[in-house]
Amino acid sequence: MDVALLFIAATTLLAVAGYAQWRVRAHTVGSRVALLRGVLVLVGLAFAYATTASSGAKGALAVLAFLTAFGLVHVPAAIILFFKDLRHEGRS
């Protein structure tokens, strides 16, 4: 059961991460797009590594925990970008 639940969480949060990375271009001034994407990815990787290392998970469970933590970092950015879409805001 743990693996199935973690698989669902990882899949959902990776979709959120994809949405955030996709919408960054629409709401960010051109020269800062790469910087913002890079920061999101680096923070995601660092958080995912720290979370997985401290969990003690092994094998597939560790991979799913890593992917879940990576996606979790993107949730605040995805929420902000979602509301910017709703309000039809431009680039900032």
> Do 8 and 70 meet the contact criterion of CB atoms below 8 Å apart?
no
Element spanning 1, H or E: none
Digit-coded pLDDT (tens) for 16-72: 999 999 999 888 888 888 999 999 999 999 999 999 999 888 888 999 999 999 999
Task: Please tell me the distance from the alpha carbon of residue 59 to that of residue 52, in angstroms, as a whole number.
Answer: 11
Q: Is the pTM of this model over 0.85?
A: yes
Residue 85: pLDDT band (50, 70, 90) is confident
The one-letter amino acid at 3: V
Task: Please tell me the distance from the alpha carbon of residue 88 to that of residue 84, in angstroms, as a whole number.
Answer: 6
> What pLDDT shows up at residue 1?
54
- Assess whether pLDDT exceeds 90 at residue 73: yes
